[in-house]
Structure 1
Amino acid sequence: METFLLISLGAVLGANLRYWVGGWVAERLGAQFPFGTLMINLTGSLVLGFFLTLATQRFLIDPRLRVFFTIGFLGSYTTFSTYTYESVVLMTTGHWVMGSLNLLGSALLGGVAAGLGVWLGRLV
């Protein structure tokens, strides 16, 4: 039951941050391209790579905190299903280049962000 509650609490916080970041980015960059989702995916990848590197290679972090943060918070914060849906919508409405850029950009840049997070985690 404790694990369930930790995941749930993290998910509430992650979902609310996702909502706030998505809106904040859309206000600044517009909503024609899903920049908010891209930003969320990149920051989520960066933070996950950084945190898990610290948690598994550098410090002894309580497994409950890992569950709360990785499964609950970041699992709710990151938006893989949203980004794929938005990409498909862009492509099916004639915006093939933008849809493809979103798919490739999130995947490739997300990989770079996760790698950067791992690198930063190893520096600490």
Structure 2
Amino acid sequence: MTWVLVVLGGMIGAPVRYLLDVRLTARLGSGFPLGTLTANATACLLLGLVAGLGLGADSPGYVLLGSGLAGAMSTYSTFTFETVRLAEEGRAGRATAYSVLSVVVGLAGVVLGLAVA
């Protein structure tokens, strides 16, 4: 049953991440990967909320929202790829800013989620 909850959460999280990326890139351009940054920050906020509500790693709520939804919404591989791509394009400053901003915003999202819960 647990794996079904992960799949259900992932069925929502993955398309949300994709749509955020597509919409933000279409609106703001591809000079800075705001779609991935936004998806990862939102997933961190959600994980903070889930943890703040006291949902244990084995609870159905954590499995659905934490492992499934937030897990599918966040993407370390795309973050890393986009950082390398920016650096290869000669935009080392943007690559560095993106890396630092991603970590800071992610941590802030978790802290905010914990505080709100």
TM-score normalised over the length of structure 2: 0.91
* Residue 79 of structure 1: aligned partner: 75
d(CA) in 2 for partners of 1:23, 1:55: 33
CA offsets per residue over residues 49-73 of structure 1, 9 Å max, x none? 01221134xxx9x811210111111
Does residue 1:94 correspond to 2:93, yes or no? Answer: no
Give unmatched runs, 5+ long, in structure 1.
Answer: none
TM-score normalised over the length of structure 1: 0.86
CA RMSD of aligned residues (A): 1.6
Where 1:55 maps in the other structure, the secondary structure is coil
The residue type paired with residue 99 of structure 1 is A
Where 2:71 maps in the other structure, the secondary structure is helix
Count of aligned pairs between the two proteins: 116
Give unmatched runs, 5+ long, in structure 2.
Answer: none
Checking the alignment, whether the CA contact within 8 Å between 2:49 and 2:114 is kept in structure 1 is yes
Checking the alignment, whether the CA contact within 8 Å between 2:46 and 2:65 is kept in structure 1 is no
CA offsets per residue over residues 55-108 of structure 1, 9 Å max, x none? 34xxx9x81121011111110011222111100111122110011111110001
Moved more, 87-96 or 22-31: 22-31
